[in-house]
Amino acid sequence: MKGGSGIVTVDFGRSLDDTQRVLESLRYFPKAESLGGIESLCCHPASMTHSSVPKETREAVGITDSLVRFSVGIEAVSDLIADVEQALKG
């Protein structure tokens, strides 16, 4: 991305518990429902913005238990990548 930040959506293909463990391990991507701003943030729709939607309905539109949205901010790209890598390994 050039000239600003963006939203990156990733499906980790993991269980709900494992996905939540990954998110709790992140250092540069705190969880937030609003992804606007200059700082990097993440959102787990299944447990946050779409938690009241039945699982079958969420999955029918592609919102799985392992789907995560990352808002990429102004931090160093190498720090952000290293953060996600350490969370996935943990």
* Mean pLDDT estimate for the chain: 92
- pTM for this one? 0.87
- Reported as a single tens digit per residue, the pLDDT across 56-70 is 999 999 999 999 999
Q: Which domains does the chain have, with CATH numbers?
A: 6-89 (3.90.1150.10)
Give the lowest-confidence range in 6-10, 18-22, 50-54: 6-10
C-alpha to C-alpha distances, 43 to 2, 3, 54, nearest whole angstrom: 22, 23, 18
Residue 2, pLDDT score = 63
- Reply yes or no on whether the pLDDT at 39 is more than 60: yes
φ and ψ at 10, to 5 degrees?
-130, 135
